[in-house]
Copies of this chain bind each other. A is one copy, B any other.
Amino acid sequence: MFFVSDNAAPVPPEVMAALTRANEGYAMPYGADATMAGVRASIRAVFEAPEAAVYLVATGTTANSLALALYCQPWATVFCHRAAHIAEDECGAPEFFTAGAKLTLIDGADGKITPAGLDAAIAGSALGGVHNVQRGMVSLTNITEKGTAYTPAEVAALTAVAKGYGLPTHLDGARFANALVATGATAAEMTWKAGIDVLSFGGTKNGLMGVEAVVIFDPAKAWEFELRRKRAGHLFSKHRFLSAQMQAYLQDDLWLRLADQANTAGQRLAAGIAATPGCALAHPAAANLMFATLPRAAHRRARAEGAAYYIMSPDSSMEGADDTPQLARFVTSWCTTTADVDRFLTLIRG
C-alpha cells in the first residue's frame, strides 16, 4: 500500500536486463553509443516525427528546464498553470536555466488551463513595451499536477491560443505515457499534431531509473540544446546506460504497458475511494495520480496498517476528531497491485 509517489517504485525487470546487456565491453561516451542511434529512431517512429531531435537527460526538472531555456528568452515569461511542476517543484530551475525568465501563473480548475484563461493571461501581459517582460512561451503538463488529463483536442485548443500570439509551446510529459493511456491518444496526436513544439518525455516516474527524453520537433534547435545540456552538467559520459534504459522502455511498448498498469491501479483506487461513504475525490482522476479527502479515521486505519501516502491538509495529524476530512495525494505505479488497492479500500471503509 505504497502510494507516496511513482518515483519511489522499483525498475521493471526488462530495464534491469537491458542495463546488464549494455554492460558489455567498451562503448563510446557522451551519446555516441550505438544504442542511442536506435533510441533516436524509435522515438521518431513512435512520434511519427522523422526529423525530431531527441536527447536523453536524467531528471524531469532538467528536461523541462532545458526545453524552456531553448524557447524562452531571459526577458520573457512562460505561461503555465499555478500548480505546474515548473512553478512549484523545481526550486527555480526554469529561472536558472533561462537566465532569469519569469513564470506567469494561471489559475484553472482541476490543474488545467482553459483557452480563455490562457488567452486572458497572454492578452493581459506585456502591454508596456520594453518596460515589462515579453511573452515567451506556453507550458502545459499532462497528466496535470492534479491528476487530470488534457485530451489532444484540449491541448490543440491551448496551443492554438499560443500560436495566435506567435508563442511556442512545451509539454511537461513527466507522466506522458499515463496521459496517452488515459486518453487513448497517440504520441503524435498529443504533441506535434496538437501544436506542441517540445516535449519532456518522462521515463523515471513510469519505471526507469532516471531517464527522460527531450523531443524537439524542430531539429534546428538541436545544437543549441546540446550545448545547453553539456553546460548544465547533464551530458553523461557513460550515456549507454541511459540509452539502454530508454531502448528497453520503448521495446514492445513496455512504456505503455507500464503506464497501463499504473493507470489501471489508479482508476481502481479512485473509483473505490469515490464509492466510499465520507470520501471524495478532489478532482477527476484520469490516470495514476489523485487527490481525495478522507475522514481522519479512515486515514488512521490505513496508516496503522502501513499505507504510505502524503496528507496535504495543513492539519495532517492522526490525532483528533474521527470525521475531520483530510486531503491526501495517492499515486499508483507500474507495480501497484490490485491486492494493495483493495486492501487499502477495505481499510478506509473500516
Q: What B residues does A91 contact at CB under 8 A? A: 75, 130-133, 227, 230-231
Contacts of A234 in B (CB 8 A): 59, 62, 233-234
Say yes or no: is A5 at the interface (Cβ < 8 Å to chain B).
yes
Does A270 belong to the interface (CB within 8 Å)? no
Partner of A236, one of B28, B30, B98, B210: B210
Q: Within A1-59, which residues are at the interface with B (CB < 8 Å)? A: 2, 4-5, 7-11, 16, 19-20, 23-30, 57-59
Q: Which residues of B contact A9 (CB under 8 A)?
A: 26
The minimal Cβ–Cβ distance linking A94 to chain B, given in whole angstroms, is 9
Instruction: Tell me if A260 counts as interface (CB < 8 A to partner B).
Output: no
Given A11-B23, A233-B59, A236-B59, verify A92-B65 contact (CB < 8 Å).
Answer: no
B132 touches A89 (CB 8 A): yes
Check A227 against B96 for contact (C-beta < 8 Å): no
Given A92-B102, A132-B89, A204-B238; A62-B233 close (CB under 8 Å): yes
Q: Is the CB of A59 within 8 A of B227?
A: no
Copies in the complex: 4
B93 & A101 in contact (Cβ 8 Å cutoff):
no
| Bound-state Cα–Cα, A19 to B244, Å | 15
Q: Which residues of the partner chain B approach A19 to less than 8 Å between Cβ atoms?
A: 16, 19
* Given contacts A10-B23, A16-B19, A96-B100, A237 and B204 within 8 Å (CB-CB): yes
* CA of A241 to CA of B237, assembled, Å: 17
User: Does residue A275 face the partner (Cβ distance < 8 Å to B)?
Assistant: no
CA distance A46 to B342 in the complex (A): 47
**Residue A322 is within 8 A (CB to CB) of chain B in the complex:** no
For A99, list chain B residues within 8 Å (CB): 74, 96, 99-100
Task: Name A131's contact: one of B90, B97, B241, B308 (CB within 8 Å).
Answer: B90
Q: Is A61 an interface residue (CB 8 A)?
A: yes
Question: Is A88 in contact with chain B by the CB < 8 A criterion?
Answer: yes
B230 touches A88 (CB 8 A): no
Q: How far does the Cβ of A80 sit from chain B's closest Cβ, in whole Å?
A: 13
15 residue pairs A–B, Cβ–Cβ below 8 Å: A8-B27, A8-B237, A10-B23, A10-B27, A11-B23, A16-B20, A58-B236, A65-B233, A75-B228, A75-B231, A90-B230, A92-B102, A93-B232, A130-B226, A210-B236
For the A-B complex with A7-B238, A130-B230 known, give 7 more contacts whose Cβ atoms are closer than 8 Å: A4-B28, A8-B238, A57-B233, A89-B128, A90-B233, A92-B102, A205-B237
